Structure 1
Amino acid sequence: MGALGLGSLGWSVGEALTYPGQDSTAARLAGWAREHRLGVVVDQLENAKYSMDPPRLGGALPQKDLARMRATAHPAPEHSDIRPHAPLQPLVTPALEGEGVWRVLASAHGRPLVQGTYVRPDSDHTSYQAAVAWISGKHTRFQLHPGLREPGEEFATPPNIPEGARTGLLATWNGGFKITDGGSRGGFHLDGKTVGELRDGTASEVFYRDGSIKIGSWGRDVRMTPDVVGVRQCLELMVDDGKVVDDIDDDAKWGATDQSRMFVERSGVGVTAQGDIIMVVGQALTAPTLANVMQRAGAVRAMPLDMNRAWPSFMSYDGSRDPHNPEPTNILDFENPATRYYEQATRDFVAVYAR
């Protein structure tokens, strides 16, 4: 490779290491590699790392996680038409103290509009947990945001939640597999612009002009209409008609090679029969266990989102001290800080506001 080629390569890698945002060096380099058709290499490295250091079997939750599971932050308002849900049936028995018990994460107008709980995802990986969030669909509005680098176009909507646009903010969550390298097997639509292709049969988050959201299979449950302002597609539905899909064990549907069977950080989102939203992030989930948690939490249709430590996230926001700049809290500890979406985000995400 000549000096010009080396210089271009160095500039490209340097730009990936210095773009705005809070992504780690490892996440930046992996993203750069995928953008330059080296995704197979990244997958092989991730597979090798997993083989050398798989999640441990058995054991107890760390004390920090146990304390978080037992805590009941923000007591529910006494006079509200929305109450904390009945406990979620744990996937591991006997249940730990606080396991499956819902607590209020964010409120508005006296209503507990965002609730959350924690469960261990399976009986083998008892030192890890998954976090489950419930969001009222009736009393909230949903906004799709692009990322600075993914889906890789300029949009009128900013790649962050800037000051002056945070009043009423209740929650945020991450996007899905990359659009630009074809990993999502679908497209992204926002501000009248489409990146990639909106494909029939692809699992889709669909955002409407009135602030509502629907989740379903594109072309069957949801489709383009004049009221649609945003679409985020990713793979296929994991839960459909209230059931985990029959081919949930088919690795080809949920990621590269055998990564669907790896117990790694994953995320997914679904909708209940009442139109409320279920969002799950977990520390050690396979594609089947992610689907199982979403279905157990009440999702009748649910889809996968992003995976691996750098990308899953769910934050709730407390505006009791400063309504115009609410304080974010991570529901689980991942690589990025809770202020992730106050800064310019690399990848697309969803923001939830009180109506």
Structure 2
Amino acid sequence: MREQEGTSELDQAAETEPTMPRPSARARRIRRGLLRRRPRPAGPITHRRWIWRRIWRCALALTVAFSLWLGYSVYGALSAPGTDSTAARLAEWGRDHGLNWAVNWLEVQTYTPPKAGGAVPPDALARMQAAQRQQDLARKAAITLHAPVKPLVSPALPGEGDFSPLIEEHGQPVVQSATMRPDTQYTSFPVGVVWMKQSALSFALHPGFQEPGGNWGVPDTVPSGQRLGLVATYNGGFKVSNGDSHGGFYLDGRTVGTLRDGAATEVFYKNGSLRIGVWGQDVRMTPDVVGVRQCLVPLVAHGQVTQQVYDGGTATWGFTDQGAPFVARSGVGVDKNGNIIYVGGRVLSVQTLAVLLQRAGAVTAMMLDINLSWPSFISYDGSHDTADPTPHNLVNFVRPADRYYQESSRDFVAVYTRSHS
């Protein structure tokens, strides 16, 4: 009886005690996972693990070092002095560091072709009309102006291709300019043609701080204090430092690149004169040479457009923005009397440039720099301040007119009146 009574009491106690719920399947899985994730005691570092650690640390260090170098290098390009645009600075940096493929791809993706058609800009039209009036006035005053350039577009606009005085010295037009359309397609991008009287002017070659680079006894700008008598500046040629010009650069007794026989060449002399010819044939090194600038092969030789103008490709005439045939171009030549002729515009082909130089009277002519950021011809008006003349662009180049009043990344030519040189 007692056993039965005791059992009954135990059963009653069990019935009255609360029962613990059984953990769910999800809770059990989480618990097992936590138990499995308990950290294992660190074992000895094997040789293989040591090698991988060293590799990862070296890779991290190299990545950090490369990032610092890249940032410093790009910052140096962007913070350099001068008026080069951000796009031009980055493109030049990329090409100088073996990224031609990337620069070319980006240029193609962002390329906006020049607008075809359209009216001649009002300022260019005004220059043509003023040139027509100047021709009439010059005939009455017995002042000789350069013969008009036969226009490439027919019918010609009034004053198209006519020269008018740009700079006068003692009442004589020593620098004259004409404005014209480049073709029937890109009529809103005028071309400027300049004639410079050799006997009245002095020509000086200036280096750029990046091209050709280095330290020179000649400044990379036209600094304040050296502007008296300044009448014009114009751009140099293709890059010498990387071989694009297919020639060399000589100044201040030093040479960058190699002066190559057969190359089209500007030669600057101690007396301020300038000759343009083929190196090793028309011109060569002599004791009175102070500067030499080579660029490609002639556009015009013996008064005729060369066959290479029609046959040559990028290997002859260089790579253009987006590979387009019509880009900003410039060239310089010499006429039969030794006077200098410059042609430049925003939208020109190699053939158009050569034909214009030849029609303007050049018996020998050469290509200068191309592509949007580089061609410039700037004249200077000293009527208000002879020591600091006001600059004016020849046509609608993209670079500001004060380009060479600041440090220039590329070489250029400064032109002075002989009475002040």
Q: What is the TM-score of this pair, normalised by structure 1?
A: 0.93
* Structure-to-structure mapping, 1:185-264, within 5 angstroms: 185-249=246-310, 250-251=312-313, 252-256=315-319, 262-264=325-327
Matched residue, 1:307: 370
Question: Displacement of 1:335 after TM fit?
Answer: 2.1
Cα offsets for 1:232-251 (capped at 9, x unmatched): 11111011111110121311
Question: Displacement of 1:77 after TM fit?
Answer: 8.2
Question: Displacement of 1:257 after TM fit?
Answer: 7.6
One-letter code aligned to 2:296 = L
Using the TM superposition, name which of 189-198 and 248-257 deviates more.
Answer: 248-257
Matched residue, 1:58: 117
Using the TM superposition, name which of 142-151 and 251-260 deviates more.
Answer: 251-260
Q: What RMSD in Å do the two structures reach over aligned CA positions?
A: 2.2
* Structure-to-structure mapping, 1:144-163, within 5 angstroms: 144-163=205-224
3-state secondary structure, aligned to 2:413: strand
Distance 2:386 2:300 in 1: 36
One-letter code aligned to 1:201 = G
Distance 1:217 1:239 in 2: 11
One-letter code aligned to 1:134 = W
Matched residue, 2:169: 108
User: In 1, are the aligned partners of 2:321 and 2:371 still within 8 Å (CA)?
Assistant: no
* Structure-to-structure mapping, 1:277-296, within 5 angstroms: 277-296=340-359
Matched residue, 2:408: 345
How many corresponding residue pairs?
353
Distance 1:201 1:258 in 2: 27
Distance 2:217 2:79 in 1: 23
One-letter code aligned to 2:197 = S
User: In 2, are the aligned partners of 1:186 and 1:199 still within 8 Å (CA)?
Assistant: yes
Residues 1:143 and 1:80: Cα distance change in structure 2 (over 3 Å) = farther
Question: Displacement of 1:138 after TM fit?
Answer: 1.1
3-state secondary structure, aligned to 2:345: strand
Is it true that 1:325 corresponds to 2:388 in the alignment?
Answer: yes
User: In 1, are the aligned partners of 2:376 and 2:393 still within 8 Å (CA)?
Assistant: yes
* Structure-to-structure mapping, 1:257-276, within 5 angstroms: 262-276=325-339
Distance 2:184 2:338 in 1: 31
User: In 1, are the aligned partners of 2:276 and 2:365 still within 8 Å (CA)?
Assistant: yes
Matched residue, 2:361: 298
Distance 2:99 2:278 in 1: 30
Distance 2:323 2:142 in 1: 40
Matched residue, 2:6: none
* Percent sequence identity over aligned pairs: 53
Distance 1:131 1:200 in 2: 30
Query: Structure 1: where are the runs of 5+ without partners?
Result: none
Using the TM superposition, name which of 206-215 and 71-80 deviates more.
Answer: 71-80
| Greater helix share, structure number | 2
3-state secondary structure, aligned to 2:250: strand
User: In 1, are the aligned partners of 2:327 and 2:347 still within 8 Å (CA)?
Assistant: yes
User: In 2, are the aligned partners of 1:238 and 1:244 still within 8 Å (CA)?
Assistant: yes
Distance 1:59 1:300 in 2: 33
3-state secondary structure, aligned to 1:138: helix
Higher relative contact order (CA 8 A, sep 6+): 1
Question: Displacement of 1:295 after TM fit?
Answer: 0.7
User: In 2, are the aligned partners of 1:79 and 1:110 still within 8 Å (CA)?
Assistant: no
One-letter code aligned to 2:115 = R
Residues 1:163 and 1:81: Cα distance change in structure 2 (over 3 Å) = farther
One-letter code aligned to 1:66 = L
Query: Structure 2: where are the runs of 5+ without partners?
Result: 1-61
3-state secondary structure, aligned to 2:362: coil
Cα offsets for 1:113-167 (capped at 9, x unmatched): 1100111112232232210000001111100000111101110000011111111
Choose the corresponding residue for 1:175, options 212, 225, 236.
236
User: In 1, are the aligned partners of 2:320 and 2:327 still within 8 Å (CA)?
Assistant: no
3-state secondary structure, aligned to 2:332: strand
